Structure 1
Amino acid sequence: MNDILTLAQIVTSRRQTALPIIDLDQAPDSRESQLVGLLLTGTALTPLQTAKALYGQATSANLVALKRLKSRVQAKLLNHLYFLDHSDPLSLVSRRYQMACLDLLHKGIALYTEGDYVLSQRLLRRCLTEAQAGEFTAYAVQSARQLCTIYAHLNKPAAYQQMDRLLQQQLAVQQLEDEAERLYTSSSLALAGTVKARRTLLPQIPEILKQLEVLHRRANSYNTFSFQYRLRIAHEELLGNFTELMRLTGAAARQMSQGKLNARRFDLRYNTFMSIVAYLRGRQPEKGLRLAQTGIQHFACTSSNWFLFQEYHLLLALHGKKYSYAQQLLLLVAQNPAGAKLRPAALEHWDLYRGYVDFVALPTAPGAPPSAARWALLLPEHSRDKSGQNVAILVLQLLHHLRQQNFDEALVRLERLRKYQQRHLLGDQAKRSRLFLRLLRGLADTGFDPAKARKRGQPTLEMLTSTPLPGNAFAEVEIIPYEHLWELVLLQLQLRPVKG
């Protein structure tokens, strides 16, 4: 009881005069609750509108009061961060354990500053235990250092020396982890940058991976494993080594199931996502589709990660010629209210996919609607913010005009594709795109005659089929594999013969 008594005395003597949070479960009878209610409606209100809704009129005095109210509400909402529920199984698995460490560390240090060394020790030791179990080295260092301070203050040399040895061990590991993080972060930033930056860094990645391997052998911690693993994944993906990517993700999943990786840290969602990327790019859409159908359960449908996962789920369906299933996925995504929160670029991705699905799902429908979004039809031949998708957009424009039998406009798109190829589709990484564009140009050369185009394009098609998918470092996206898309284009022309 003495521990609770001391805690009660500290809390009652040091508590704030005003409640530092908002009671969100009560009826909105206060200005603070009313403002939160207005914010949660999702309606964008100006300060004048907000003042009028809260105070009845938007006078100068009420606008000043609103400014003060917003400041108080923000401070109290920030205080609610101490009480968030992190038990959602669909969130990042490490989050709940990381936040538990932070919570214990905060309470332990707060009690120490108030002079309660007994309960402070207990909480800090719990924090240390949790940090070691989750391999959160930074929190282990902080809790061990604070315990050393307490033991020194209490004149407990044996306890101090034991904790100091642990602290030195954790500091050594943290130093290695910091160096691994520096290598990983600087590499990731370069790989996420311009094509030039990627080309410069890619040859250096093997040496960086060797350095990370050395650091991991010395530290033998989850953090050093994670930095090394994620950079290796990124490297193989960018180079197009999809067989190796499948091996890496599969090996990690097996290690996890065998208890060789920290279950409090290993992100199964990330590993599942990279596995389906590997299956997609490695031309095994059937296996990837099976994994995607079970893997989606690990993602909350309200998160942006759910939509990203569904993008690859959809691409797997399209690459596996499951066009009806692709339609079902598009409908599922469209019905998700969380889609309203997506960035405009992400919404355009889904628009682009929808254009392709419309083309392949209803090739025989008379008077079919345009199979391209309006923004896609109006784009120039090269849009920098659509990097990696320019060929897909230009091809979609071409498909749209082929469906409409508007061959004059189709010729314009073919010319745009030719110019884009000359300027941007260079090197071995763009070989598949160049071969596909050669097939498309054969349409014009044969007067859009499908039989003649098929015969003329057969050698090119064979070359295309034997050319592997490039890595993601420089590649254009193939929403539908070029081989499949060529057959669909010919089918479209067969179903809608050129008018004489």
Structure 2
Amino acid sequence: MEFLRELVFVVNRNKVKQIELLDLEQKPASKINQFYQAISTEKIKTDEEAKAYLYNKGVTPNAYYNLKARLLKKLLNTIFFIDNNGPKQTDRRIAMHEASKSLAAAQLLMSKGAPIAAVKQFTKLLRVAEKYEFNSIALTAVRALRIHYGARKIDQKKYLLYSKLCDTYQEIDYWENKAVAHYTRIVSGYNDRKQDRKKLQVLCRGFYEELRAKEKSIQSYSFIFYTALIRLMQYTIVDDYISVIPISEELLDVFQNKPFSTSTAIQNFLHHQIVGHLQAGDFEKGLEAGKKSQGLSPEGTSNWFKHQEFHLLLGMQTGRYQEALDVYQTTTNHSQFSLLKEKERENWTLFHAYLTFLQQHGKIVVDESAGKFPAFRMQSFLNKMPTYTQDKEGKNVAVLIINILYLISRRKKNEAIDRIERMEKYCLRYLNKEDNRRAYYFLRLLLSIPSGSFQIDRIEILAEASLQELAKLPSTSSNLFGRMEIIPYEVLWEMIINDLRT
């Protein structure tokens, strides 16, 4: 069902409803259009829900699956008629869409015995591919033109021209593929928790040096982009985002000087800068980079959701809590949000927990007209965080902390004492490391609460040493999305102390 929901979202987002392939106006009550509209309005999200919505009990499953296949076919056909000239479409995206259709048309013409029309199409396509650096499309075009002028309609001059171009694009294609292969090898290793980060960093450096040797001769968008990502990953793979700030600035200059829009690359490098500034504690510069990034990706795309995460975190780190709430409501109420992977949605579940804590302390005011903000239930929250709870040194810390904060603020002393005391071994085992020191000292602060028998004077005496150690460390995390210090620990501690005083 997810692939159907994704296709429906693309069709809706790109105003394809104006096209009559789906018969939305002529046959609004047809079963297939009921199906389409139910997915579009999110009345159904699973096959089981769709069967119950569309058919009475007793109808064979085949009827539903046949309908599903028909809708899929219609949606795929409709994709070719997407309105590609929307206000948020860049010149390169529009060109890629048109070039993909032109390539399919040229290949169909050639296969159907219309070589003259096909060659005209390939020739026109080559000019577009050269302008926008669609090198795989250019390679397909010159191969077709080479065989046409070399073996069908013999033209020695054109044959030699396209033969030479074919060699050129084959080399570019080779190095583009190599850059992508190296990038995916590193990303695959990074996502494997068993992989040693230092060894991956060494591998990354080797890959970059190999690709770097070709940077002057291969200037294509794809090659430079993936080589740049590998260059950055030499640092980000060990959570050093501060070092990538000047490198990202250099890369921004390179891509901003391309003769076409490079918004995907630009936003990627701005995102690296945002994380670097967050890590360095320079939140104002992070906000500045965030403003530059805003609007570079259409709503509902993966880059848009990632930008929204950064925007919310910057708001939380700088005390702009109401702004962070606005970002949360805009994002989680977006029609594409439910299609995010579970791991990506977990971030927003965690944000909801912290925002609710702020709401309970009068730091934000929820306006339901701006979007749903569901009631918070701790057990439901914990059940939704399976990925986090496996991450003992990372995001699980944020889950443990918010759990304890709620217990303290609700005066559940016995439960709070039990949870805090169980954390002592956890601290020693998982957090007594250099890159976890802030989390370690904050959890030591929490341990002072049961040790001080919830008496504010005793707690402040016991907490003094840990508070001083925490103050020595920068109010950042070495791995922003690994540690998730969503709200600075000093701010949280002040809120806890105020809870204990009242």
Once the 2 structures are TM-superposed, how far is the Cα of residue 178 of structure 1 from its aligned partner?
A: 1.7
Would you say the 8 A contact 1:355–1:396 is kept in 2? Answer: yes
> What's 2:101 paired with?
103
> What's 1:206 paired with?
205
The superposition leaves residues 430-457 of structure 1 with CA deviations (integer Å, 9 ceiling, x where unpaired) of: 2222222222222333333444444444
Separation of aligned partners in 1, 2:190 and 2:74: 40
> What's 2:419 paired with?
413
Separation of aligned partners in 2, 1:388 and 1:233: 22
Once the 2 structures are TM-superposed, how far is the Cα of residue 339 of structure 1 from its aligned partner?
A: 3.9
Would you say the 8 A contact 2:407–2:413 is kept in 1? Answer: yes
Would you say the 8 A contact 1:381–1:416 is kept in 2? Answer: no
Separation of aligned partners in 2, 1:383 and 1:314: 22
Aligned partner of 1:427: which letter?
K
User: Does 2:239 correspond to 1:232?
Assistant: no
Task: Classify 1:435/1:329 alpha carbon distance in 2 versus 1 (closer, same or farther; 3 Å).
Answer: same
Question: Between Structure 1 and Structure 2, how many residues are aligned?
Answer: 467
Separation of aligned partners in 1, 2:436 and 2:391: 19
> What's 2:273 paired with?
275
User: Does 2:134 correspond to 1:128?
Assistant: no
* 1:444-455 equivalence runs, <5 A: 444-455=450-461
The superposition leaves residues 270-317 of structure 1 with CA deviations (integer Å, 9 ceiling, x where unpaired) of: 233333222222211222234435633334344454343222212111
Once the 2 structures are TM-superposed, how far is the Cα of residue 160 of structure 1 from its aligned partner?
A: 0.5
Question: TM-score, normalization: structure 1?
Answer: 0.81
* 1:303-342 equivalence runs, <5 A: 303-333=301-331, 335-342=333-340
Aligned partner of 1:214: which letter?
A
User: Does 2:433 correspond to 1:431?
Assistant: no
**125-134 vs 230-239, which moves further:** 230-239
Separation of aligned partners in 1, 2:465 and 2:77: 67
Separation of aligned partners in 2, 1:397 and 1:196: 31
Secondary structure of the 1:83 match is coil
User: Does 2:483 correspond to 1:479?
Assistant: no
> What's 1:373 paired with?
378
Would you say the 8 A contact 1:318–1:479 is kept in 2? Answer: yes
> What's 2:162 paired with?
163
Secondary structure of the 1:217 match is coil
Once the 2 structures are TM-superposed, how far is the Cα of residue 212 of structure 1 from its aligned partner?
A: 2.3
Separation of aligned partners in 1, 2:27 and 2:96: 33
Separation of aligned partners in 2, 1:493 and 1:155: 89
> What's 2:185 paired with?
186
Separation of aligned partners in 2, 1:177 and 1:358: 47
Separation of aligned partners in 1, 2:28 and 2:270: 43
The superposition leaves residues 369-417 of structure 1 with CA deviations (integer Å, 9 ceiling, x where unpaired) of: 9976333467899821787321111111111111122222222121232
Q: CA RMSD in A?
A: 3.5
> What's 2:247 paired with?
248
The superposition leaves residues 116-164 of structure 1 with CA deviations (integer Å, 9 ceiling, x where unpaired) of: 3332222111211111222222111100000111112101111100111
Task: Classify 1:51/1:474 alpha carbon distance in 2 versus 1 (closer, same or farther; 3 Å).
Answer: closer
Aligned partner of 2:202: which letter?
P
* 1:41-56 equivalence runs, <5 A: 42-43=43-44, 49=52, 52=55
The superposition leaves residues 335-357 of structure 1 with CA deviations (integer Å, 9 ceiling, x where unpaired) of: 54544444554444333223223
Would you say the 8 A contact 1:51–1:58 is kept in 2? Answer: no
Question: TM-score, normalization: structure 2?
Answer: 0.81
Would you say the 8 A contact 1:213–1:228 is kept in 2? Answer: yes
User: Does 2:84 correspond to 1:78?
Assistant: no
Separation of aligned partners in 1, 2:439 and 2:491: 13
Would you say the 8 A contact 2:312–2:327 is kept in 1? Answer: yes
User: Does 2:239 correspond to 1:216?
Assistant: no
Would you say the 8 A contact 2:200–2:237 is kept in 1? Answer: no
Aligned partner of 2:323: which letter?
Y
Would you say the 8 A contact 2:270–2:292 is kept in 1? Answer: no
Separation of aligned partners in 1, 2:66 and 2:132: 42
Task: Classify 1:98/1:385 alpha carbon distance in 2 versus 1 (closer, same or farther; 3 Å).
Answer: farther
> What's 1:443 paired with?
449
Match of 1:400 among 403, 406, 423: 406
Would you say the 8 A contact 1:127–1:143 is kept in 2? Answer: yes
Aligned partner of 1:414: which letter?
I
Structure 1 moving runs of 4+ over 6 Å? 369-372, 378-382
Separation of aligned partners in 1, 2:433 and 2:481: 10
Please list every run of 5 or more consecutive structure 2 residues that lacks an aligned counterpart in the other structure. Answer: 1-19, 364-373
**203-212 vs 388-397, which moves further:** 203-212
Secondary structure of the 2:192 match is coil
Would you say the 8 A contact 2:107–2:118 is kept in 1? Answer: yes
Task: Classify 1:476/1:24 alpha carbon distance in 2 versus 1 (closer, same or farther; 3 Å).
Answer: same
Would you say the 8 A contact 2:477–2:484 is kept in 1? Answer: no
Would you say the 8 A contact 2:85–2:94 is kept in 1? Answer: yes
Secondary structure of the 1:329 match is helix
Separation of aligned partners in 2, 1:83 and 1:212: 39
User: Does 2:500 correspond to 1:493?
Assistant: yes
Q: For the pair shown, which has the larger CA radius of gyration, 1 or 2?
A: 1
Secondary structure of the 1:242 match is coil
